Chains A and B, each alone.
Chain A
Amino acid sequence: MTDKITVKNLFKIFGEAPDAALQMLGTGATKEDILDATGATVAVQDASFSVAEGEIFVVMGLSGSGKSTLVRLLNGLIPATFGQILIDGQDVVQTRGEALREIRRNTITMIFQHFALFPHWSVADNVAYGLKVKGVPATERRDRAMAVLDQVGLAPWADSLPGDLSGGMQQRVGLARGLASDPQVLLMDEPFGALDPLIRREMQDELLTLQKTLKKTIVFITHDLNEALLLGDKIAIMKDGRFVQIGTAQDIVSRPADDYVQAFVADIDRGRVFTAGDVSSDPVTAQLHGDSAETTLRRMEDASLDALYVLDGDTVSGLVTHRDLSAALHRDGPGDATLTPSLITDFTTVDEGTYLHELYGPAGIGLPIAVTDGDDRLTGVVAPEAVLAQLDNEAAAAPAPRMEDAR
């Protein structure tokens, strides 16, 4: 994947003397020192990152961390003080006037926390706003607005006023407006922050569904780490205008860069961050028709397992437990005992991408969970203890030697 957005050493300093403040930053002065000395406020400090095409890049931070400023630097609503913002190689920082407006019309659109819909225009006209600015004729505008409204499920409300819609619906209109001019980059400034929790979940899922087909490059701002972890292909944690850590959801949760990130991570639901692939181990198996109960039992003991999966060729036929096999061995004698009578065929299979919170139920039974690939081949086994260990945030060690390839 190629990088759509590349940001290098981006600074934004509000106030009279940005150059002096920039120099002080160079000598290692803190934000407070600079405010005292020059009256300038450092909003974004030395931000560098890149966003690949089709990726959702989430910037997470609390109020005052500079995240809303950062997103407005990307489309030049706030001019940057220093640095580079390359979108398809064009530097937004150096672009002004009509050329900048061209970028906003064709390449980058924005979705706002408080929707920012025009109250005196119908939903369809709002959606078509970007097209109107571009000078697209009225009938074509209407057609394209209707197509996008259809996508977000609001076609029947095309002629309503935004004020007549609920918050969630209004933000769908906001989303449709952002999509109507078919931009390559979407900037989303806490788009779900003003919605109540249930609607927020619904919108997050809908965004993920839409993104599967749209494949836009998205920069998403939020103050909610759970939202960041759910949506972000890559997540940047921002504090006092700088990036504290950039990484995947698993990176952030399993290897927090400092105490600040650690404090956030402590509260999150790890079951929604880690997947079966993250906690599975390589399978120890037996062949249904090749291995005897005795050899299987020994293999289990060698690997100190209570149960293992039995394969018939390549396909999983079931699992056997140490207790059942011992009983069978005792009953039938070492020479005759086979695996078949002890085979438990009622087992759970999941794929690598299944989130752990869906495994709590199966793990509670106490049997290992089979991780299979698209062809039903066993690729790993999740021990129930591994799932439950993730529930304990403090104790959970980095689970993930396989983390990188899990994504």
Chain B
Amino acid sequence: MSPADLITIPFDDWINAFVRGWLVPNFRPVFRAAQVPVTVVLNNLNAFLLFVPMILTTAAFALAAWRYAGRGIAIFTILGFAFIDMIGLWPETMTTLAMIVTSVLFCALIGLPLGILAARSDTFWRILRPVLDVMQTIPSFVYLVPIVMLFGVGMAPGIIATIIFAIPPMVRLTNLGIRNVRGDLTEAARAFGSTEWQMLWDLQIPLALRTILAGLNQTLMLALSMVVIAALIGAGGLGLIVNTGLGRLDVGGATAGGVGIVILAIVLDRITQGLGEGSKAGTLSVGQVLTRTLRGRGAAPVDATVTGPVARN
């Protein structure tokens, strides 16, 4: 005796009917149009990165690494990028980089305003939070199919899948950072007659910046981890090399692609982390923020306010 004896739910049929029967026929043009900005940014960036000589790109990254993450990482950048070039994967690496930068750019463009809104409205945050939870927990293969149906195959759909996967920490940490700005500071801003915009600009964003940058760093890392998966629906770059290797049981090729991703990941991670630690404005260290976020999605934002004014009466 189980519930299935009494009633069976054709859940998969419902979803099929919803996506195939209604969403795709009615909204395909809308989704197609929506990917245009992504395509434009991606293509230009990709063309630019492929056009700039390898030496110049490496120098730029090494300089940024030296400036924000120290000499060790700068040396690692030079050696790592040289290695990628020597194993013949430079163009693919640049394509992957273009994809990641594009994804992170759109994550920031969408995630920052969402995070700000979430910090300002408890209702909005209550609605948004389960959506973010679903986005982070649902296996990415599940939404690859509807994405292909709606957007087709290629680079841009791959990036859209990546954005869906990588945006939650950007929203979460923007929300957290702004909510953690001390209550007496926002009260002071109000007491001096500032508008909500002035308060956001002068106070909340600068003080939340460190937390926001930690979110950006996490988003970047998540985007990198989507590179291989996105290649399944036609995104190019290093992910394609790995997938091809996998398909042909070519261990060498897959490993080469994998090493390229790892090197890129380390360089980008250290540079963006250094960026976050360099901004002195933050009230919390990146580590604190991360432990807090990891420890509990539920408990994190509001009660984490440590420095608010004590005992108001």
Binding site for B on A (CB under 8 A): 61-69, 75, 77, 101-106, 109-110, 112-114, 116-120, 129-130, 132-134, 177, 181, 187
Contacts and interface: CB of A to CB of B under 8 A. Distances in A.
Most buried by B among A77, A116, A129, A130: A116
Nearest to B311: A63
B190 A77 contact: yes
Interface in B175-206: 182, 184-185, 187-195, 198, 202-203, 206
A112 B193 contact: no
A117 B307 CA distance: 13
7 residue pairs, one from A and one from B, having the closest CB atoms: A104-B193, A105-B193, A116-B188, A110-B191, A120-B281, A101-B193, A63-B313
B188 to A, nearest CB: 4
A275 B214 CA distance: 62
A177 B193 CA distance: 13
B20 interface: no
Nearest to B203: A118
B184 A114 contact: yes
B193 A130 contact: yes
Given A116-B184, A116-B188, A118-B185, A65 B313 contact: yes
B309 interface: yes
B264 interface: no
B206 A103 contact: no
B295 interface: no
A102 B193 CA distance: 7
Contacts of B189: 129, 133
28 contacts: A61-B313, A63-B311, A64-B313, A66-B313, A67-B313, A68-B312, A69-B313, A77-B187, A77-B191, A101-B193, A101-B194, A102-B193, A104-B193, A105-B193, A106-B193, A109-B192, A110-B188, A110-B192, A112-B191, A112-B309, A116-B185, A116-B188, A118-B185, A118-B188, A118-B202, A119-B207, A133-B189, A134-B193
Given A118-B185, A120-B280, A105 B192 contact: yes
Q: Most chain-A Cβ atoms within 10 A of its Cβ — which of B188, B309, B311?
A: B188
B283 interface: yes
A66 B312 CA distance: 9
Contacts of A187: 191
A41 to B, nearest CB: 12
A296 B281 CA distance: 79
Contacts of B283: 119
Interface of B: 182, 184-185, 187-195, 198, 202-203, 206-207, 280-281, 283, 309-313
B62 to A, nearest CB: 30
Contacts of B184: 112, 114, 116
Contacts of A177: 192
Contacts of A130: 192-193
> Binding site of A, secondary structure by majority: helix, strand, loop or mixed?
mixed
Nearest to B207: A120
B207 A112 contact: no
A187 B192 CA distance: 11
Nearest to A69: B313
Contacts of B207: 118-120
A133 B281 contact: no
Contacts of B203: 118
A69 B207 CA distance: 27
Contacts of A104: 190-193
A102 B194 CA distance: 9
Contacts of A181: 192
B309 A133 contact: no
A62 B207 CA distance: 33
B311 to A, nearest CB: 6
Contact of B191 (A63, A75, A119): A75
A101 B191 CA distance: 8
Nearest to B209: A120
A117 B297 CA distance: 30
Interface centre among B184, B310, B311 (most CB of A within 10 A): B184
Contacts of A118: 185, 188, 202-203, 207
A177 B198 CA distance: 17
A112 B189 CA distance: 11
Given A63-B311, A75-B191, A119 B202 contact: no
Which of B185, B207, B283, B311 counts the most A-chain CB atoms under 10 A from its CB?
Answer: B185
B49 to A, nearest CB: 34
Contacts of A119: 207, 281, 283
A66 B280 CA distance: 37
Nearest to A103: B193
A105 B207 CA distance: 23
A118 B203 CA distance: 7
A129 B312 CA distance: 24
A133 B187 contact: no
Given A64-B313, A112-B191, A129-B202, 19 more contacts: A62-B313, A63-B313, A66-B313, A67-B313, A68-B312, A77-B190, A110-B192, A114-B310, A116-B184, A116-B187, A117-B188, A120-B207, A120-B280, A120-B281, A132-B202, A133-B198, A134-B193, A177-B192, A181-B192
A134 to B, nearest CB: 7
A29 B192 CA distance: 37
Output the residue of B192, B198, B203 with the most chain A CB within 10 A.
B192
Contacts of A68: 312-313
Nearest to B195: A101
A75 B193 CA distance: 10
Q: Which of A67, A105, A120 has the most CB of B within 10 A?
A: A120
A133 B193 contact: yes
A177 B189 CA distance: 11
A120 B206 contact: yes
Contacts of A102: 193
A132 B198 CA distance: 9
B297 to A, nearest CB: 28
A66 B311 CA distance: 12
